[in-house]
Amino acid sequence: MPLAFHASRAAKYEQQEQNAETYILPFIARGISVDDKSVLEIGCGEGGIIEPFLRRGGTGVGVDLSPEKIAYAEKAFASYIEDGRAEFVAGDIYDDEISGRLEGRFDVAIMKDTIEHVYGHAKILAKIKDFLKPGGVLFVGFPPWRMPYGGHQQMTESRVGKLPYYHLLPRPAYRRLLEMFGESERKIEGLMEVVDTHLSINDFERMVAETGYRVVAKQHYLVNPIYRYKFGLKPREQFGFVSAIPWFRDFLTTTCYYLLTPER
Ligand SMILES: C[S@@+](CC[C@H](N)C(=O)[O-])C[C@H]1O[C@@H](n2cnc3c(N)ncnc32)[C@H](O)[C@@H]1O
């Protein structure tokens, strides 16, 4: 594998791990102790979010569609895997063979920057309830679709691709603009998939209620904590009055953290 491949995966792993240690675990601790917990991350990428739980005596399972990311995680966690404290699975969380092995095993389930990529938001929320032990919690972190870079502009290659908000154009105009600026068909398809699976704060909160979860804690951010590790920016919680205005809040909120527990 090329060196750059390893370097970028290592950087991602480090960002995931630091963000989890400093922001995600303290947030989850608002609802449940984070020591000695069995943790499942769906869409775990390189697996960095799981590491702080293992340091605290827990166990972890990561599932991701990408075999390359899972291969990286398996190397990073080799000693934990040998000790039987970690497992990584390459595949789709909707695959019955994978999900069947996860039922009833976890104190904490995590979907960080993943739910907005998965088809069937309510379906995955309902499914995760089967993976939790009684009293278990689900952490979800996601960027609302209408935030400045909700189209995942970081995936584009041209500089204009990184402009804020233009992903909110009608789909054909958005596609045309990406073509005009020379984005590859593969990139455009990926970005159109984000259009298809996008998620707003209102829709998310409605689905949370409909699928039988209670919100234990929530935090909206004006400046996403992960930007500290990616861009050196200071994280900032969203102003309370912005957070309280449905629809409008989505335009100015770069990420949302939710801690949920099944109530039925
Ligand atoms: C943006 S990455 C987030 C990675 C990591 N959670 C983080 O915060 O850095 C989203 C991940 O979700 C994975 N993913 C998307 N749909 C999935 C599915 N149906 N089953 C398993 N993984 C999925 C993708 O392969 C990708 O690695």
Q: Residues 14-64: pLDDT tens digits?
A: 999 999 999 999 999 999 999 999 999 999 999 999 999 999 999 999 999
- Which pLDDT does position 6 carry in this prediction? 62
pTM metric for this prediction: 0.96
Q: Residues 243-254: pLDDT tens digits?
A: 999 999 999 999
Domains of the chain, by residue range, sit at: 3-144+198-262, 153-196
Ligand 1 atom having least distance to the Cα of 12: 9
- Which pLDDT does position 4 carry in this prediction? 57
Please, are residues 116 and 141 in contact by the beta-carbon 8 Å criterion?
no
Q: How far is the CA of 241 from the centre of ligand 1 (A)?
A: 32
DSSP state letter for 2? -
Any idea what the Cα angle at residue 156 is, between residues 155 and 158, rounded to 5°?
155
Return the structure tokens found at 164: 């804020």
Which fold is adopted by the domain 3-144+198-262?
Rossmann fold (3.40.50)
Distance CA 4, CA 6 (A): 5
Q: How far is the CA of 93 from the centre of ligand 1 (A)?
A: 10
Give the rounded percent of residues in the chain with a pLDDT score beyond 70. Answer: 97
